[in-house]
Amino acid sequence: MPDNRQELESIHAEYERTKAAIGGAQAGVLADSTTVTSKNRELSVTVDGRGELTGIAFRTRSYRTMSPTELATLLVDTIRAARRESLGKVAAAFESVLPAGLPLLDIMSGPIDVDTMMSDAVAKIMRERQRS
C-alpha cells in the first residue's frame, strides 16, 4: 500500500506542475497580440492571442483609390498572415507543456477547463498503467 500512495502523490504532484504550466502558457497567449504589416506596407492589422482581429491601421491613403476587390484582398491576406503568425506563437507556447494529442485548437480558441482536461489525462494514464 505505501508504494501506491507514493505513486499517487507523484502523479498528483506532476498533475499540479502540468496544470500550472498550462495555465501560465494560456495566460501568456491570451495577453499577447500580433501585428502584421501588408507586403506593400499600406495596411497593418493586429490580432489578439486567439487570432481575433483587434485593430486595422491604414498606413497610407492609397486605400482610397483601390478597387473594392483589391482592398478586400489586401485585408483578407494581411489578416490571414497575422492569424497564422499568432497561431505559430500559440503552438510554440504550448509545445513544451502539453503532451502530444491534447486539443490545442480548443485551448487556443478560448477559456478551457484545465481541471477537467487534466483529470481526463490522469484517468487515461491510470488506465494505461493498470493494463501494464
Residue 25's pLDDT band, with cuts at 50, 70 and 90, is confident
Identify each DSSP E strand in the chain by its residue range: 33-37, 43-48, 53-58
Torsional class of 20: left (φ above 0), alpha (ψ -120 to 50), beta (otherwise):
alpha
The more confidently predicted of residues 65 and 105 is 65
Name the residue type at position 81: A
Residue 30's pLDDT band, with cuts at 50, 70 and 90, is confident
The more confidently predicted of residues 44 and 129 is 44
Mean pLDDT of 58-65: 94
Distance in angstroms (rounded) separating the CA atoms of residues 30 and 15:
22
Distance in angstroms (rounded) separating the CA atoms of residues 128 and 117:
17
What's the pLDDT at 11?
A: 85
Backbone angles phi, psi at 47, to 5 degrees: -125, 155
What's the pLDDT at 53?
A: 97
Name the strand (E) or helix (H) holding 79: helix 68-95
Residue 1's pLDDT band, with cuts at 50, 70 and 90, is very low
What's the pLDDT at 120?
A: 79
What's the pLDDT at 92?
A: 80
Distance in angstroms (rounded) separating the CA atoms of residues 21 and 96:
9
